Amino acid sequence: MTDTEYYCPRCGYTITNKISFIKHLNRTNICNPIYNDISVYEIINDYSFDIDKFSNRDKSKQIFQCKFCNNKYLNKYNLDRHKLICVKNTERTEIDILKKKFNQLKIKESNKKYKINQKIKEEYINLLF
């Protein structure tokens, strides 16, 4: 067993287990660059790993990137799903603000209707007695 330490310069991930490091580089959701915006392929070449072990990596495959937080995804569906929960998504935030305003207006309207109904009931009761 070797004590070689594998280090990912993209995100700072460090491990001594080669297989776990290969899994880290081979994941579908590419690690976010913290230190350097270095490609996964450069890391693979630096460690002289066999490119065949990286089955889900296709150099010609398009990478989809979130325009709000720069997370990268290998398919559009995952990017779209991420955009729904992305904290930095200003479009989502604006939609949430509009929904809250709309709900507040609905509540105000229902309160007004309730008050009107209460007045009508009171007047009706006063007429009866």
Same domain, 11 and 32: yes
Q: How confident is the model at residue 54 (pLDDT cuts 50, 70, 90)?
A: low
pLDDT (0 to 100) of residue 125: 81
Same domain, 83 and 93: no
pLDDT in tens, 85-119: 886 766 666 777 788 888 888 888 888 888 888 88
Same domain, 94 and 53: no
Q: Which two tokens stand for residue 99?
A: 């929904």
User: For a pLDDT cut of 90, what percent of the chain falls above it?
Assistant: 0
Same domain, 44 and 68: no
Number of domains in the chain: 3
Q: Is 12 left (phi over 0), alpha (psi -120 to 50) or beta?
A: left
Same domain, 34 and 81: no
Residue partners of 55: CB distance under 8 A and separation at least 6: 26
Query: For the chain, how big is the Rg over CA atoms in Å?
Result: 28
What is the residue range of 73's domain? 58-88
Same domain, 69 and 121: no
Inform me whether the pLDDT recorded for 73 exceeds 50. yes
pLDDT (0 to 100) of residue 1: 46
Same domain, 80 and 127: no
- The domain spanning residue 71 has which CATH number? 3.30.160
- pLDDT, averaged across the chain: 77
Same domain, 53 and 17: yes
* Whole-Å CA distances, 39 to 21, 53, 61: 15, 17, 14
b/e map 18-41, b = 16+ CB within 10 Å: eeebbebbeeeebbebeeeeeebe
Same domain, 5 and 30: yes
Same domain, 47 and 65: no
